[in-house]
Structure 1
């Protein structure tokens, strides 16, 4: 995996992935940015959510659950020091569908947390308290 991050000005950067996709990152005005895009730590949080929801959806599809919607609500706390690393993170999955079995969702979330989600497992190994929760809603 490769990528490049290029400084534009102030606290704005353009990142390009090895697959050729780009994203803009920017900081708050008080740190020289223009507040026009995501912060780098927000991208880390959202990337973790993307990694985990990919796993959960793939497993629910494989178990033939009739999922009509799924989201992961992310909550993270950072230490009040430099570096301001993540101290804790919760990934709360809300799965909506027709007759979706709670046991299947629980198993998909557990497998993502313990075996498949490279991002959340990496953060956990680095000392971040990563927790997972879920809710199932009927469509």
Structure 2
């Protein structure tokens, strides 16, 4: 069984440093709840994990399929419940592909493979939130 060990160390006040196998990052709270805005927010990091996981899949598939893509980004928006503890109940993941010779059919397939088969973070999210997928093509 594979595992990941993350070490998160308190740096004072509301700030923590979290390390994972690829590096480290700072976590902090907003000023209105006692933080100093000098780090990333834990819930938003979950959205980064989601888009990063799927993005790695899609980037790999772009390479394997030999697709021409000038640029690509993913916007991920999470909608929280109104009750405490606030959790994501809806998430929209929008893939933006840019290029002059985009193969929309194959790019849609790459996204579909990530969403349905490869991205473990996507599967985790789908167990607790409604996840909507959108794909946007910008031909330039």
* TM superposition score category, shorter chain reference: over 0.9
TM-score for both structures, normalised by structure 2: 0.92
Question: What stretches of structure 2 of length at least 5 have no aligned partner?
Answer: none
Deviations 1:61-108, CA, capped at 9 Å, x for gaps: 211111110000111101011211101111100011231111111111
Are residues 1:12 and 2:15 paired?
yes
Q: Which runs of 4+ in 1 moved over 3 A?
A: none
Structure 2 residue aligned with 1:50: 52
Structure 2 residue aligned with 1:110: 112
Question: What stretches of structure 1 of length at least 5 have no aligned partner?
Answer: none
Structure 2 residue aligned with 1:132: 133
Mapped to 2, the partners of 1:29 and 1:11 lie a distance apart of 10
Aligned pairs, how many?
137
Structure 2 residue aligned with 1:73: 75
Change beyond 3 A, Cα 1:20–1:96: closer
Mapped to 2, the partners of 1:130 and 1:67 lie a distance apart of 25
- Equivalent residues in 2 for 1:61-100, closer than 5 Å: 61-100=63-102
